[in-house]
Amino acid sequence: MLTGKIAVVTGAGRGIGREIALTLAAHGAAVVVNYNGSKTAAQAVAEEIIQKGGAAEAIQCDVSDFAACEAFAKTVLETYKRVDILVNNAGITRDNLIMRMSEADYDQVLDTNLKGAFHMIRHFSRSFLKQRSGKIINISSVSGVAGNPGQSNYSASKAGLIGLTKSVARELASRNVQVNAVAPGFIDTDMTRDLTEAARAELSRQIPMGKTGTAKQVADAVLFLAGEGSDYITGQVLCVDGGMCM
Ligand code: NDP
């Protein structure tokens, strides 16, 4: 159980982040539901948690903005005094072949997916160090583990997240803060909904289990890494991918 724990989940108004927020709350954590543009959706997630007897609050912050993340962390720490679980889930895609990839699309994906996690860890790290306990979980991707054509920006950001995870895991290990990554495979959310049937079929052929995953299956892996069952696990990448990356 996560009773008494304070969790921050970035990009928690929709998709995988929403499911992570609901799952952590269902196991007793008070959840800060971060969003960027999806205010109504994020507020609905917080309300759903509260209606079920939990505690939650939706707070806007663009994770790609260093100063905004600093202000966000300050607000959260002033209100809750501590953060026990930080889930860096916010992410975007701007897919294109490398020949056609614009600098803006490259930068935007790196700024959101990789620097966004850096910003949050950077601004919450003092608090984690002081309390001498905590869990940081970064949502990477199989694209970051194995690469994917048309996703050089996204793959680089997700591979970077794995390096960030391992370095911060080493920095914080002696203070009893565990830092791990979850690498989802092909999960049904808004991010993957636009794929053609042909692209879906081709992707499914690459999955040993032969089917796509659900946001709930990713959230359950996050739940494990957020709880005491993972107290001796740090710097790891847990693939939730139906066997794609084995
Ligand atoms: P969605 O597109 O459904 O949701 C993306 C989320 O990220 C939204 O909640 C969005 O918030 C948030 N977000 C985007 N930019 C920002 C920003 N600048 N600041 C704060 N929040 C932001 O994606 P998924 O739920 O599918 O993906 C969640 C994570 O899982 C991502 O990191 C993604 O890369 C990763 N992933 C997904 C896979 C999949 O198959 N779906 C596979 C592997 C990894 P808002 O709407 O408020 O802007």
pLDDT, position 49 = 98
State in Å: Cα 174 to ligand 1 middle: 31
Which residues of the chain have a pLDDT value below 70? none
pLDDT, position 207 = 96
Task: State whether the beta carbon of 62 lies less than 6 angstroms from ligand 1.
Answer: yes
Q: Tell me if 222 sits within 8 A of 23, measured CB to CB.
A: yes
Give the residue, by CA position, lying nearest to ligand 1 atom 33.
91
Which of 190, 222, 183 lies closest to 15 in space, CA to CA?
190
pLDDT, position 224 = 98
Task: State whether the beta carbon of 36 lies less than 6 angstroms from ligand 1.
Answer: yes
pLDDT, position 194 = 82
Q: Which atom of ligand 1 is nearest to the CA of 62?
A: 19
CA 95, CA 149: separation in Å to the nearest integer? Answer: 9
CB atoms within 10 A of CB 175: 14
Catalytic annotation, residues: 154
pLDDT, position 233 = 98
pLDDT, position 198 = 85
pLDDT, position 200 = 85
